[in-house]
Amino acid sequence: MPAICINHYYAGGTPLFWRRGDDRLHAAVSAWLVRRETESERHLFCLYLRHYIGAPCWDAAIANACRKDALSRCVTFKAMLDLRQRAVSLSTRDEIRAWLHDALEFGIDPL
């Protein structure tokens, strides 16, 4: 599968949404959702998740939401760093599923 570049952010630092991306990205996410992805599609889906969680808008959201509460901000920031670090090593369905669950707990839904 040829390389695909997922590094575009919209105004405000929001991430590319998979349904508006390259046809290969759309196919990879769709295949993952029905549990029929190939290894290369799963790899592309993981690249998309790294892109999504790395979006600058999440940094701004943390800063705005937690401006008055330093402890909450610290916990939120650590949770975001953890999600970003874990996204780098995602490879199995179980890892991806657990990561998506944790992202949802944080209010982030890349799907």
This prediction's pTM: 0.82
**What sign results for the dihedral spanned by CA atoms 45, 55, 90, 77?**
negative
> How many residues appear in the chain?
111
Q: State the pLDDT at residue 58.
A: 81
In order, the DSSP letters of 19-87 are GGS-HHHHHHHHHHHTT---HHHHHHHHHHHHHHHT-HHHHHHHHHHTTT-HHHHHHHHHHHHHHHHHH
Q: State the pLDDT at residue 74.
A: 59
In tens digits, what is the pLDDT along the chain, a chain of 111 residues? 445 556 666 767 888 888 877 788 999 999 999 999 999 999 999 999 999 998 888 877 666 656 656 555 556 777 888 899 999 999 999 999 999 999 998 788 999
Cβ within 8 Å of residue 11, ≥6 positions away: none
